[in-house]
Amino acid sequence: MDRPRVSRILSDGQPGEPVEISGWVRTRRDSKDGFSFVELNDGSCMANLQLVIDSSVPGYAETIKNVTTGSSIKITGEIKESPGKKQRVEVHASTLELIGTADVESYPLQKKRHSFEFLREIAHLRPRTNTFGAIARVRNAASAAIHNFFQERGFLYVHTPVITTSDCEGAGEMFQVTTLLHDDKPPKSLDYTEDFFGKRASLTVSGQLEAEIYATSVGECYTFGPTFRAENSNTTRHLAEFWMIEPEMPFYELPQNMQLAEDFVRSVIKMVLEKCPDDMQFFNDRIDKTVLETLKNITENEFLRVSYTDAIEILEQSGKKWEYPVSWGQDLQSEHERFLTEQHFKQPIILFDYPRTIKPFYMRCNDDNKTVRAMDVLVPRIGEIIGGSQREERYDVLLDRMKEQDLNPDEYWWYLELRKFGSVPHSGFGLGFERLILLLTGMQNIRDVIPFPRTPKNAEF
Ligand code: ATP
Ligand code: MN
pLDDT at 170 over 70: no
pLDDT at 187: 64
Q: Which helix (H) or strand (E) holds 295?
A: helix 291-300
Q: Please indicate whether residue 384, judged by its CB atom, sits closer than 6 Å to ligand 1.
A: yes
Of 209, 336, 435, which is best to mutate to test ligand 1, by the most ligand atoms within 8 angstroms of its C-beta? 435
- At 107, the pLDDT band (50, 70, 90 cuts) reads very high
| CA 108 to ligand 2 centroid distance, Å | 35
Compute the average pLDDT of residues 428-444.
97
Let me know if residue 41 belongs to a domain: yes
Q: Please indicate whether residue 377, judged by its CB atom, sits closer than 6 Å to ligand 1.
A: no
User: In this structure, which ligand is nearest to the CA of 244?
Assistant: 1
CA–CA distance from 264 to each of 300, 345, 386, 443 (Å)? 13, 21, 11, 21
| CA 59 to ligand 1 centroid distance, Å | 56
How far apart CA 204 and CA 166 sit, in angstroms, is 8
Q: Where is average pLDDT lowest: 16-30, 122-136, 177-191, 290-304?
A: 177-191
Let me know if residue 146 belongs to a domain: yes
Nearest CA to ligand 1 atom 12: 387
CA-nearest of 223, 229, 174, 169 to 363 is: 169
pLDDT at 117 over 80: yes
Whether residue 142 sits in one domain with residue 54: no
Q: How many CB atoms neighbour CB 101 within 10 A?
A: 14
User: In this structure, which ligand is nearest to the CA of 379?
Assistant: 1
Let me know if residue 459 belongs to a domain: no
pLDDT tens digits for range 319-347: 999 999 999 999 999 999 999 999 999 99
Compute the average pLDDT of residues 403-422.
94
- At 189, the pLDDT band (50, 70, 90 cuts) reads confident
Whether residue 75 sits in one domain with residue 153: no
CA–CA distance from 215 to each of 145, 373, 402 (Å)? 21, 18, 21
Q: What is the CA radius of gyration of the chain?
A: 27
pLDDT at 171: 56
Compute the average pLDDT of residues 95-111.
94
Let me know if residue 114 belongs to a domain: no
pLDDT at 428 over 80: yes
What residue type is 205 in one-letter code? V
Whether residue 399 sits in one domain with residue 287: yes
Of 384, 437, 443, which is best to mutate to test ligand 1, by the most ligand atoms within 8 angstroms of its C-beta? 384
Whether residue 334 sits in one domain with residue 245: yes
Nearest CA to ligand 1 atom 9: 387
pLDDT at 182: 75
Whether residue 146 sits in one domain with residue 83: no
pLDDT at 447: 97
- Given 82, 100, 118, the domain boundary residue is 100
| CA 432 to ligand 1 centroid distance, Å | 6
Q: Please indicate whether residue 386, judged by its CB atom, sits closer than 6 Å to ligand 1.
A: yes
Q: Please indicate whether residue 434, judged by its CB atom, sits closer than 6 Å to ligand 1.
A: yes
Let me know if residue 111 belongs to a domain: no
pLDDT at 1: 60
Share of the chain above pLDDT 90, in %: 89
Contact present, 331 and 305 (Cβ < 8 Å)? no
| CA 175 to ligand 2 centroid distance, Å | 14
The domain total for the chain is 2
Nearest CA to ligand 1 atom 24: 238
Let me know if residue 46 belongs to a domain: yes
Helical spans, DSSP H, in 89-172:
116-121, 130-152
Whether residue 134 sits in one domain with residue 37: no
Of 169, 238, 243, which is best to mutate to test ligand 1, by the most ligand atoms within 8 angstroms of its C-beta? 238
pLDDT at 232: 81
Contact present, 72 and 22 (Cβ < 8 Å)? yes
pLDDT at 186: 64
Q: Please indicate whether residue 383, judged by its CB atom, sits closer than 6 Å to ligand 1.
A: no
pLDDT at 385 over 80: yes
Nearest CA to ligand 1 atom 11: 387
Nearest CA to ligand 1 atom 10: 387
Q: What angle do CA 171, 176, 181 make, to 5 degrees?
A: 150
Whether residue 227 sits in one domain with residue 80: no
CATH number at residue 75: 2.40.50.140
Contact present, 92 and 18 (Cβ < 8 Å)? no
Whether residue 385 sits in one domain with residue 435: yes
Whether residue 133 sits in one domain with residue 87: no
Whether residue 182 sits in one domain with residue 132: yes
Q: What are phi and psi of 72, to 5 degrees?
A: -115, 140
Q: Please indicate whether residue 244, judged by its CB atom, sits closer than 6 Å to ligand 1.
A: yes
| CA 313 to ligand 2 centroid distance, Å | 24
Whether pTM > 0.85 for this model: the answer is: yes
Q: Which helix (H) or strand (E) holds 308?
A: helix 308-316
- At 184, the pLDDT band (50, 70, 90 cuts) reads low
Q: Please indicate whether residue 432, judged by its CB atom, sits closer than 6 Å to ligand 1.
A: yes
CA-nearest of 350, 369, 151, 345 to 254 is: 350
pLDDT tens digits for range 211-250: 999 999 999 999 999 999 998 888 999 999 999 999 999 9
pLDDT tens digits for range 60-79: 999 999 999 999 999 999 99
Pairing mode, if any, of strands 304-307 and 349-355?
Answer: parallel
pLDDT at 84: 86
- Given 100, 115, 137, the domain boundary residue is 100
Closest ligand 1 atom, residue 376 Cα: 18
Q: Please indicate whether residue 242, judged by its CB atom, sits closer than 6 Å to ligand 1.
A: yes
Whether residue 132 sits in one domain with residue 67: no
pLDDT at 336: 96
CATH number at residue 442: 3.30.930.10
What is the strand order of the sheet 156-157 is part of? 156-157, 221-228, 241-250, 426-432, 383-391, 371-379, 349-355, 304-307
pLDDT at 451: 98
Whether residue 130 sits in one domain with residue 96: no
Q: Which helix (H) or strand (E) holds 31?
A: strand 18-31
| CA 155 to ligand 1 centroid distance, Å | 23
Closest ligand 1 atom, residue 331 Cα: 2
Q: Could you list the residue range(s) of the whole structural domain that residue 45 is in?
A: 6-100
421-432: b (≥16 Cβ within 10 Å) or e: eebebbbbbbbb
Nearest CA to ligand 1 atom 8: 384
pLDDT at 194 over 70: yes
DSSP state of 374: E
Q: Please indicate whether residue 239, judged by its CB atom, sits closer than 6 Å to ligand 1.
A: yes
Of 222, 244, 386, which is best to mutate to test ligand 1, by the most ligand atoms within 8 angstroms of its C-beta? 244
Beta strands in 292-370 (DSSP E): 304-307, 349-355
Nearest CA to ligand 1 atom 19: 432
Let me know if residue 89 belongs to a domain: yes
Nearest CA to ligand 1 atom 22: 432
Let me know if residue 432 belongs to a domain: yes
- At 167, the pLDDT band (50, 70, 90 cuts) reads low
